[in-house]
Amino acid sequence: MTLSLSKDTIQVIKEQDVVFLKNRVKETAVKIKMGLVNQTRLLTACSELVRNMMRYANGGVCIIEVVSSGRNNGVRLTFSDKGPGIPDIEAAMRDGFSTGKSLGLGLPGTKRLVNEFEIKSKVGEGTVIVILKWANG
Amino acid sequence: MSIQVDLYDRLALNLEADLVQMVNKTSAKGVLIDISAVSIVDSFMGRIIGNIASMSKILDAETVVVGMQPAVAITLIELGLPLKGVHTALDMEKGMRLLKSMIDETEEDADEDQTADDLITE
């Protein structure tokens, strides 16, 4: 069972908010004694998702949670926006697929960096992506 | 050039433009980028680094990236970013040596081409 220990909601609308968000995610990861490599994975994943949110949906909200399961602690990030949504999630999760001018690594690459990855999207309503990285694992 | 802060997007794009213009202005043969102070490289930053390398290459300059942190290297590979056309070295000193050897090599090649051309005209 996964318990949520703390919850922090951050609005991301401007570029400065992105810097603030990344600092908060890093602080949270350090607090639960996440190793440096996992911290880097989590922050890179966060960076990819927040960029998507800025580019396609003009920003949104990120919830930072510390979660606990047995002896293991982790950080869960929930990114939600009210953007255009993703019409074909399966295609968006394929390497090299992009509707923007990027490399198309954002979503599939992010999934490889974290332990849990969940995406829900409705066209015209928005997108919610939840990722979880355990301190050890 | 040494990057001392974690870049946000607009800064990275400015850097790309400025750097390529500097290569042109100073007719530099090599670009050395120190990213030892950068704690994350995501697909956007990776693409900027790749772009700098390709653009410099067209302007006849080689690019070497030095000082990448091990955690960053691990993340880049898992993310699936190839960083094609970018040379890397462990630190500044090794990077400079690599640049020098690459520049010398291209100059030697140019000399050889020269002699070959001379022979043909003769």
Compute the mean pLDDT over every residue in chain B, rounded to the nearest whole number. 84
Specify the pLDDT at position B122. 40
pLDDT single digits (tens) B20-77:
999 999 999 999 999 998 999 998 889 889 999 999 999 999 999 999 999 999 999 9
Sheet with B62-66: strands ordered across: B30-34, B62-66, B87-89
CA-atom Rg of chain B in angstroms:
16
User: Is A98 touching B (CB cutoff 8 A)?
Assistant: no
The pLDDT mean for chain A works out to 91
Q: B45, B12 in Cβ contact below 8 A?
A: yes
Contact B80 A108 (CB under 8 A): yes
**pTM of the predicted model as reported, rounded to 2 decimal places:** 0.87
Residue B4's pLDDT is what?
65
**Helix, strand or coil for residue A101?**
coil
Q: Quick check: A37 contacting B, CB < 8 Å?
A: yes
ipTM at complex level: 0.86
Q: If you average pLDDT over residues B8-29, what whole number do you get? A: 87
User: Closest approach of chain A CAs to the CA of B51, in angstroms?
Assistant: 12
**Which chain A residue has its CA at the smallest distance from B77's CA?**
A109
Q: Are A129 and A79 in contact (CB under 8 A)?
A: yes
Cβ within 8 Å, pair A41-B70:
no
Checking if the pLDDT of A14 tops 50, the result is yes
